[in-house]
Structure 1
Amino acid sequence: MIKFFAIFILVFLFLFNVSFVLAAELPNPLGGIKDPREVIGNVIRAIFGIVGSLALAIFIYGGFMWVTSAGNEEKVKKGKDMIMWAAFGLAVIFVSYALVTFVINAVVGGGGSSGGQAIETGEGILLPD
């Protein structure tokens, strides 16, 4: 009986041996964003990315329509108009993206320094040299 019990314990220990694994910590998918202004800025940038992609798709569709018009003047004009308005839309999107990025950086990033190197004081306030 003791021999059976010893074999049972040995089999149990070998079969159900738990090895501890040092698993890697998962990174925060938000990237450590704690400020709501940064979240709003990221949402606005994502919206501009989507709108720019849509304008580019319309630009490509206008070119496709123009190429496949087979000499039909109405389709050629429609394709040219789509390309012209898509190019105008892309220009407006790029300018508005630049302006919004400038404003977001000014609000979130403090607007840059007035010259000199920024240093961090004991209170966490950034001041120029």
Structure 2
Amino acid sequence: MKIFKRNTLISLFIVLSFLVNMNFVFADDLPSEKVEGVLVRAINWLAGILATVAVLMVLGGGVVWVTAGGEEDRVKSARKWLTAGLIGLAVSLAAVIIVNVVLSLFRP
């Protein structure tokens, strides 16, 4: 309990310390960007996250399969992980391809 209280107090102190030292910055305005560019960046970002999660699932499924030791339940679980990871990779790749194709069709 003491460790929890100490960690909570330290975390609270760190968060509050960012609020105390605020300085105003006179920076340039952000460049105006079209909605198209924002959407493309968001979709590419999400596809990248999906691909990363899919690769981690494939790696996790491979580790489970290797360490299964012949147990059918663990092998079936590993196959499900591998299948889900490969489907995730295919979906993320398809998302990026679809976005690029649609953009190439509508750009002059």
TM-score range, shorter chain: 0.5 to 0.7
Cα shift readout 1:43-84 (whole Å, capped 9, x = no counterpart): 111111011111111111010111111221110111012112
> What is the Cα deviation at residue 93 of structure 1?
2.1
CA contact (8 A) 1:56 1:90 kept: yes
CA contact (8 A) 1:33 1:39 kept: no
- Cα RMSD (Å): 2.1
> What is the Cα deviation at residue 33 of structure 1?
6.0
> Which of the pair is proportionally richer in helix?
2
Indicate the structure (1 or 2) with the bigger Cα radius of gyration: 1
Percent identity for Structure 1 against Structure 2: 26
Q: Output aligned runs, 1:5-16, within 5 Å.
A: none
- After TM superposition, the score normalised by the length of structure 2 is 0.62
Q: Where does structure 1 lack aligned partners over 5 or more consecutive residues? A: 1-27, 112-129
The CA distance in 2 between the partners of 1:56 and 1:33, in whole Å, is: 35
Q: How many pairs align? A: 80
State the structure with bigger RCO (CA 8 A, min sep 6), 1 or 2. Answer: 2
CA contact (8 A) 1:58 1:86 kept: yes
Residue 3 of structure 2 aligns with which residue?
A: none
CA contact (8 A) 2:47 2:92 kept: yes
- After TM superposition, the score normalised by the length of structure 1 is 0.53
CA contact (8 A) 1:65 1:75 kept: yes
CA contact (8 A) 1:55 1:86 kept: yes
